[in-house]
Structures are given as structure tokens and as C-alpha cells.
Chains A and B, each alone.
Chain A
Amino acid sequence: MSTHANASYADAQAGAAITKNGTGAATACMQCHGANGEGQATGGFPRLAGQGRNYLVKQLTDFKAKSRINPLMQPIANTLTTAQINDVADYYASLPGWKPAASPVPDTAQTARGAQLTHRGNWDKGMPACFACHGENGAGIAPHFPAIAGQRATYIAKQLKNWQAGTRSNDPQGLMKAVADKLSADDISAISAYLENPK
């Protein structure tokens, strides 16, 4: 099941080196994604630590193939070999995923709305709960559905808008496009805010 169970230690180590030092051709991942893959709110760089291996491989491969468009990631992914992509994915998948803060973050009206959409969906509009496919705690369902719990709000909001606009379209079966089309701008803000610290 979980693909990262298959990652070998050696591969993950090679991947770790790439994330810290780059490859010569490729910039070190940690420069934008954080020393421990925790992402960066400014700039909307996503958390990668604990992300599903298959999902990471697919995204890097899609950047390379231009089926996911991103001017920053494109040139970097272009220089990576298939083996290097696998190694980097192994490494990030091997890191601990997001865990809730010890002291819960207080709810706001916005995060309460976000919680509703994330856990229950909005069936009046035909929108299923985010966690229906991204896992009961948003930790992802391997191999196709990435972890979204603890993800950067700036990143989530950007992606949802991209799905809506059609500027991101590498989702299987158009599933994310179908969901994103049912969200208002306020819905997107609420979901993004909630997912930074979901309960």
C-alpha cells in the first residue's frame, strides 16, 4: 500500500543529498521547501515532508513533461533523471508528516467554515468532503491522493484557483477540477486557512 514503505534507505539518502545540495544543475530543494521539507508560507512553497512517494514522483514527472506548469519547478525538474526523481520522492516520503500542534489553534468563523467543507463537503453543490479522498485526517490516501493536512494556505489556495482556471490539470480523471469548480472564493479561503491546522 503505502508506497513509501518500498523506499530503500540508500535511495532516500541519495535523495536527501539532492534536497540539501542540489545536483549542480538543479537548485537544492530546501532553499524553497524548507530545511525539513516543511514548506514556506511566503511564496506558497508546499510542505513536502511526509508526502506520498507516488504523488511526488508524478508531480516531478509532470513538471518535466509540462503537464503541470510551474515556471520555478519546470527547469529544476528538467534536469533530474528518473532515478533522481525517485530518490528525492523517497526522501520526502520518509520524513514525518504533519502533526497537529500540541495546543490547538483557536477556531475562527473562517476556519469553522473550512472545517465544515473539509470534513463534510457541501452537497448542496455536489461537493464531497476534501477528506473523503484525501484521508480521514487529510494525511492522503496512497497512491493517488496527496496529504493536504498541514499544507500551506498560500499553496492550497493557489492550487484550488489553478484547478478552477484550468491552469493546473494533471489531476486523475479531472476529479480536482470537478471539486474546485464547486467552490466560491470564500470557500477556497476557508479551506486553505483550515488545512494549515486541521483537527
Chain B
Amino acid sequence: MLRWINRLTQNGKFHPMWIVLATSAIAVVAAMIAVPAIYEGAKEPKKPSPVAVKQIPAAANLPEPDSGQHDLKPAPAGVQAVHFTPPAESEMPSGEFGDTVKLGRNIFVHTQTYAKGFVGNGLNCVNCHLDAGRKADATPLWAAYVKFPAYRDKNKKVNSYEDRLAGCFRFSMNGTAPDYNSKEMIALTTYSYWLAKGAPTGVELAGRGYPKLENPPLAPDTTRGATVYQANCALCHGADGLGTKVNGQYAFPPLWGSDSFNAGAGMHSVKNAAAFIKANMPLGKGNSLSLQEAWDVAQFVDTHDRPADPRGK
């Protein structure tokens, strides 16, 4: 089983980075491990997605994550990833179903406005799940959706997609999950379902989670990471890592401190954070940092204080 991360990301209309990370144990791993270069960015035929299939290499031995929300496990060697492209936003349906899809998108992108009561920090799902949960290699919702229900080591049981979303609220959003029958949970699930329209279920979709990251040449180092941070991240996230606000809301999310994800979040795993950063940061310049820089800066970010893991770990 793989693990996932949870995070959701970006932009709703317009923004950058982090958010919900925590999710289940399934995806991340798989994604990270298996998905590397599969997503070629370019458009694939849209609907029937089972198009190109690519062999995924066997997992490498990566460092163990440090806690439960982030245990990543290697994907079995030879797992095949399938390309998929989610429907365009312009194809969103009308009617009550479409309204719920739109609400789900709004919650995802403007979490602070549409689901504030369930969030205990300053993040929006889209901060980590870039492009409103659409972007491959940034934990896209469509790839996660088709991998549930799934068994997760984290809680030793088969988890529903709602369970996975609840993990995001609890850890990445440092909050309390809405009831599974609430309009928020239904809308998020509906939005995910719609994004996955035409995708096969139970298969590995290319672009799920983050691309697998190799081990760095040198052990990750906080001091080097601080230098990488100041040169590449501080412009938006602040020299103090506390983000940048406009009109009381974060325009660029805080990477640590009381308004950031808690210590149980998937992003609090250096491995996950490094994989996210390597593929996606700085925004618009993904893959510009070296492997070593990504690991070092992830280590630096994750050594800062943040809300505690609610499980008491």
C-alpha cells in the first residue's frame, strides 16, 4: 500500500502553495515512488484515459519518514501508471450536481472562506495541491480519488476517500474534519469525483502524489538548507517562514509556525516535502533546485516549530 499525502493545493484563482497534506497512506508513496517522469506535461487524450502506460521502476530505499501520517511504502516493482487528463474547468456541469462541484472547488481553493470552521491554521488546500488539485506531480485529486477505498497502515484499516480527506483536515489543516455527510465533505468528494471523470479506478495514475525523489548525495543538512531557503523561498514565504499576508489572508502560505500544517501532516515528512519542493517550487520554476538543495531545504523547513501532532506523537 502506498501512502499518500494529503495536501491540496493551489490556486484557485490564483495562488500558490501549500495546504493540506496529510492524507492517507496510500498515495504518496506510490506516487513518489512510482511516478517519476511519466507525466509529460503535454496533453493526453482526454476522456478514456487508459492511454499510455509506462513501467514504473522499483522503489529505491528512501529514508524512513518520521511519523505516522507520512509512512511511505515502496510501490511494487513493475506497477504500471496510466496517463489521465482531468476535464477542463469550462466543462463543469450545470445544475445541482455542477453547483456541488463548484462548491467543492471553492472550498478547495478558498478554504479559509468556505470551510473556515474546520481549519485551525492559515492554509488553503490549494497551497499544496496546485492548480486547484489538478496539477500532476502535486498530489492531484483525480489520482487520489481512484485509489480509494484503500487499506492504510496508519490506522490499520480500509479507509474511504472521506477518511483520507478527514486526515487532511486533521493534520495538514490542523483542524477538525467536517462530518462525512456535511455539505463540505460531500462537495469536496464531488469535486474530486468530477475531476476523475473517465479515469479507471484502482490503478496508479501518472502524476499521483509527487515524483519519486532519489536519495541526496549528502545527508540533508539544515545549515545548507537555510541558505537555499533564503535564496529561493524567502521572497514569498518570508525570511521568517511565516508567509505573506494581504488583507488578513495569506497570499503566500506560512511554512512553519502556528498557522502552518501540524507535525502529523504528510508535509512534515522531509521526504515528502523534498519531493514536493523539487517538482513544484519555486512556483513556476519547478525542478530548478538540485536534488541536494530540495532535500536540504525540506530538512530546514521541517525542523521549525509548528503545531503538534494531534495524536500526541
Taking Cβ atoms with an 8 Å cutoff, the residues of A that contact B are 1, 119-121, 123-133, 135-136, 139, 141-142, 144, 172-175, 178-179, 182
Contacts and interface: CB of A to CB of B under 8 A. Distances in A.
B246 A135 contact: yes
A1 to B, nearest CB: 6
Interface of B: 10-11, 13-16, 41-43, 89, 130-131, 134-135, 231-232, 235-236, 244-246, 251-252, 282-286, 288
Contact of B232 (A135, A142, A144, A173): A173
Contact of A123 (B131, B231, B251): B131
Contact of A1 (B10, B13, B130, B245): B245
17 contacts: A1-B246, A119-B13, A120-B14, A121-B131, A123-B130, A123-B135, A124-B41, A124-B43, A128-B284, A129-B13, A131-B14, A133-B284, A136-B13, A141-B252, A173-B285, A175-B284, A179-B284
B41 A173 contact: no
Contacts of B131: 120-121, 123
Contacts of B235: 144, 172-173, 175
B286 A132 contact: no
Contacts of B15: 129, 131-132, 136
A46 B32 CA distance: 45
Nearest 6 interchain pairs by C-beta: A131-B14, A129-B14, A128-B284, A178-B285, A141-B251, A132-B15
A167 to B, nearest CB: 20
Contacts of B14: 119-120, 129-132, 135-136
B16 A133 contact: yes
A127 B284 contact: yes
B284 A178 contact: yes
A132 B41 contact: no
Nearest to A181: B284
Contacts of B251: 135-136, 141
Contact of A131 (B13, B245, B252): B13
